Chain A
Amino acid sequence: MFDFFAEMWSFAFMQRAFVATTVLSASVAPVGAFLVLRRLSLAGEAMAHAITPGIVIGFVTAGLSVLSLLIGGLIAGVGVAVLTSLLARKTILRSDASLASLYLIALAAGIFILSAAGSAIPLKSFLFGSILGIEDASMVLVGGVATVTLLSFSVLLRPLIVSTCDPVFFEARARWPWLVDQGFMLLLVLNLLAAFKTLGTLMAVGLMILPATAARYWAATITGQLVLGFVFALLSCWIGLTLSYIFPNTPSGPAIVLVAGAFFLISALCAPLGFGRKSRKQSHKDITSLT
């Protein structure tokens, strides 16, 4: 057993993958928690696909650099967000339908351009991630995004809590309520880009949503939600990477997301707020023991 881990960690790419995903877990956990609590889980998924053409165009025109990934992804993410809100306000479509339409176009365009340009990167690792692809620049990107995310949350946490729980109360009291919404969407796009190398564009949002939904079944407070979400994300990454190492042909994204999915299913079955939930009045006695 010990030999197995010693061998796995003797590879530089595995060391990088473990470090990168550990930092990534700390970064995506709070974003995922608020995606779930703000009922934006599906919007987060759509946004992950929506940034694809930006990443691809950046890659095709400027090569595989972190800067091209960041700029392309940010332009595509912000572009789709702005277009979605325009469509929702100026046309009959609601925002979910607008976002769905746009992300489908964006994803198709991304894959089309990638294939047409005869990319050197296999489509599979683009969509589903590859632990081999984590070079120095990607490590810097993950570290930078995690730093920005955690610093932002130290300022945004209270406003986010109030605006999520009671949006009208928040809007009435905050001087710039839009700042919280837009700031959060920006953090979402940044974290999707940071997760892109390990998890791929299709799976990036999985590490945000599944640990957060699993934690939601256990946590009675926002602190519990954030801490448990991080623990589930971290364990998913570590176990997922190990699985991906054991089965060399499996991309790391689905392996990590599958483990997170297992945490979700187990939580849904066993946790106090899952299927095991007692009647509303009794359940709080169990829940209050957990923070």
Chain B
Amino acid sequence: MQPVFKVRDLSLGYPGKTLFEHLSFSIESGTTLALLGANGSGKSTFVKMMLNLLSPLSGEVIWPAGRPREIGYLAQMAEFDSRFPIRVRDLAAMGAWGGFGMRRRLDRDGHMRVAAALEEAGVLGIADQPIHTLSGGQLQRALFARVILQDAPLILLDEPFAAVDQHTEAHLLTIIDRWRHEGRAVVLVIHDLSSVLDHCTHALLLGGGEAAYGSVNEVLTPKRLVQQKYMSESQAAWMFRDALSDTKKDTSYV
């Protein structure tokens, strides 16, 4: 596993507001990092920093093998114009427009790659529909097809399951698993802890002015989740009730 992205002594925030300080860690190929935190804890800010859209307050950002030419990216749906006159097929094909190669049309091989990506995302059957006719889940699948076509070594997904049903989420998680098996690094902003446990190898928990990085099991402890304001004490007690009763752990934190 090669490190793809590293930060050293990173502080992130905006002028007048520091979200967290002194974070050092690296993201390696073939891993899936869950980026967790309460609203406003800096998850999207962190993703934007990775995309070079904003600078850290201090610290060092290192790309050990150089910044990848292509970074797979799925933004939150809020700013996406779902009424734009474009077909599913063309929306996905944007992923293959690397560097927006202005005039060049997709060749035969390109069309086959688009079709394969649409099929994997489960939207080949509606490839010629305009996107305004799609449900939230179908649109997110089409956007996943676009990420597939970006064919990037590093993939950033900002809350991809916010508006999709369980079935779609499960399907899209299999694609994320495939990316990891292929040796890509995936960063996933996500809220559902059970999906994190099943599909992510590492976690970065932001909140309470801190940032905690480690394997999923190291980070997702009830104590830490409460301490970093990810959940209330009673929520943690409920969520970890089995583990706590099995091991008779000290529950003084609740």
Listed in ascending order, the chain A residues whose CB lies under 8 Å from chain B are 37, 154-155, 158-159, 161-162, 164-169, 171-174, 216, 219-222, 224-225, 280-281, 283-284, 287-288
A288 near B128: Cβ-Cβ < 8 Å: yes
Q: How far is the CA of A284 from the CA of B135 in the complex (A)?
A: 13
B87 near A220: Cβ-Cβ < 8 Å: yes
Chain A residues with CB under 8 Å of B81's CB are 37, 164-166
Q: How far is the CA of A155 from the CA of B81 in the complex (A)?
A: 22
Chain A residues with CB under 8 Å of B100's CB are 158-159, 162, 173-174
Q: How far is the CB of B211 from chain A (nearest CB, A)?
A: 22
B102 near A216: Cβ-Cβ < 8 Å: no
Residues 77-104 of chain B, each 1 if its beta carbon lies under 8 Å from chain A, else 0:
0011100111100110010010111110
Confirm or deny: B3 has a beta carbon within 8 angstroms of a beta carbon on chain A.
Answer: no
Confirm or deny: B5 has a beta carbon within 8 angstroms of a beta carbon on chain A.
Answer: no
Given contacts A172-B71, A288-B129, A288-B130, A37 and B102 within 8 Å (CB-CB): no
Q: Nearest 5 CB-CB pairs, A to B?
A: A168-B75, A284-B133, A165-B84, A220-B130, A172-B51
Residue on B nearest A175 in the bound complex, by CB: B99
Chain B residues with CB under 8 Å of A288's CB are 128-130
Residue on B nearest A273 in the bound complex, by CB: B132
B130 near A284: Cβ-Cβ < 8 Å: yes
Q: How far is the CA of A173 from the CA of B100 in the complex (A)?
A: 9
Residue on B nearest A154 in the bound complex, by CB: B103
Confirm or deny: B53 has a beta carbon within 8 angstroms of a beta carbon on chain A.
Answer: yes
Q: How far is the CB of B42 from chain A (nearest CB, A)?
A: 17
Chain B residues with CB under 8 Å of A158's CB are 97, 100-102
Given contacts A155-B102, A173-B73, A162 and B97 within 8 Å (CB-CB): yes
- For this complex, into which size category does the number of interface residues on chain B fall? 20 to 34
B85 near A37: Cβ-Cβ < 8 Å: yes
A164 near B130: Cβ-Cβ < 8 Å: no
Chain A residues with CB under 8 Å of B101's CB are 158
Q: When the two chains form the complex, which single residue of B90, B91, B99, B133 contacts A280, counting CB atoms closer than 8 Å? A: B133
Residue on B nearest A156 in the bound complex, by CB: B102
Known: A220-B130, A288-B129; 20 extra A-B contacts, CB below 8 A, are A37-B81, A37-B84, A154-B102, A155-B102, A158-B101, A165-B80, A165-B86, A166-B81, A166-B94, A168-B75, A172-B53, A219-B85, A221-B85, A221-B86, A221-B87, A222-B85, A225-B85, A281-B133, A288-B128, A288-B130
A222 near B130: Cβ-Cβ < 8 Å: no
Q: How far is the CB of A36 from chain B (nearest CB, A)?
A: 10
Residues 190-227 of chain B, each 1 if its beta carbon lies under 8 Å from chain A, else 0:
00000000000000000000000000000000000000
Residue on B nearest A215 in the bound complex, by CB: B85
Chain A residues with CB under 8 Å of B97's CB are 158, 162
Q: When the two chains form the complex, which single residue of A154, A169, A224 contacts B85, counting CB atoms closer than 8 Å? A: A224
Chain A residues with CB under 8 Å of B85's CB are 37, 216, 219-222, 224-225
B79 near A168: Cβ-Cβ < 8 Å: yes
Q: How far is the CA of A280 from the CA of B73 in the complex (A)?
A: 28
B86 near A287: Cβ-Cβ < 8 Å: no
Most buried by A among B81, B90, B133: B133
Chain A residues with CB under 8 Å of B80's CB are 165-166, 168
Chain A residues with CB under 8 Å of B73's CB are 169, 172-173
Q: How far is the CA of A283 from the CA of B53 in the complex (A)?
A: 38
Residue on B nearest A222 in the bound complex, by CB: B85
Q: When the two chains form the complex, which single residue of B79, B87, B94 contacts A162, counting CB atoms closer than 8 Å? A: B94
Residues 141-184 of chain B, each 1 if its beta carbon lies under 8 Å from chain A, else 0:
00000000000000000000000000000000000000000000
18 contacts between A and B (CB under 8 A): A37-B81, A154-B102, A165-B86, A166-B75, A166-B80, A167-B79, A168-B75, A168-B79, A168-B80, A173-B73, A173-B99, A220-B130, A221-B85, A221-B87, A221-B130, A222-B85, A225-B85, A284-B130
Residue on A nearest B47 in the bound complex, by CB: A172
Chain A residues with CB under 8 Å of B53's CB are 171-172
Chain A residues with CB under 8 Å of B90's CB are 221
Q: How far is the CA of A167 from the CA of B76 in the complex (A)?
A: 11
Residue on B nearest A38 in the bound complex, by CB: B81
Residue on B nearest A158 in the bound complex, by CB: B100
Q: How far is the CA of A288 from the CA of B133 in the complex (A)?
A: 11
Residue on B nearest A221 in the bound complex, by CB: B85
Q: How far is the CB of A142 from chain B (nearest CB, A)?
A: 26
Chain A residues with CB under 8 Å of B103's CB are 154-155
Q: How far is the CB of A121 from chain B (nearest CB, A)?
A: 40
Given contacts A221-B130, A284-B130, A288-B130, A164 and B84 within 8 Å (CB-CB): yes
Chain B residues with CB under 8 Å of A283's CB are 133
Chain B residues with CB under 8 Å of A166's CB are 75, 79-81, 94
Residue on A nearest B90 in the bound complex, by CB: A221
Chain B residues with CB under 8 Å of A225's CB are 85
Residue on A nearest B147 in the bound complex, by CB: A169
